Amino acid sequence: MTRGFRYRIYVTPRVEKTLTRVFGCCRRVYNDYVRLADSEYQGGRPHPSYAVGWSLVSEARTAPETPWLADVPAHVLAASVKNATVAFDNFFASQTGKRKGHRSAIPG
């Protein structure tokens, strides 16, 4: 039997602002990887590896147009890239039949 738990947390406005910034940066990194992987897929090429995705994030952290990415811990952004990579791995595995179950849609 599986149990579920619900928790409610109450955060200060300062913590809420920090979490909003972190989640926004994660969303930006994830969406950037999905956009890149989708363009590769449309071109008939495999999606970029985690290392390629992370190198793009590293460049973005030092770029003058996205300095706010440097304010967020790197391991959080790395987890977003990893999640996007796994989503595409699962998509391709479901398309080729390596993954059981129904075919999943392209991540987006």
Q: Does residue 43 form part of some domain?
A: no
Q: Does residue 80 form part of some domain?
A: yes
Number of separate domains in the chain: 1
Q: Does residue 39 form part of some domain?
A: no
> Domain span at residue 105?
49-108
- Averaged over 4-32, what is the pLDDT? 94
The model's pLDDT over 55-83, given as tens digits with 9 standing for 90+, comes to 989 999 999 999 999 999 999 999 999 99
Which pLDDT does position 73 carry in this prediction?
93
Q: Give 98's pLDDT tier (boundaries 50, 70, 90).
A: confident
Q: What is the pTM of this model?
A: 0.82
DSSP string, 2-59: -----------HHHHHHHHHHHHHHHHHHHHHHHHHHHHHHTT-PPPPHHHHHHHHHH
Tokens 């993954």: give the residue: 99
Which pLDDT does position 90 carry in this prediction?
82
Q: Residue 60 CB: number of other CB atoms within 10 A?
A: 18
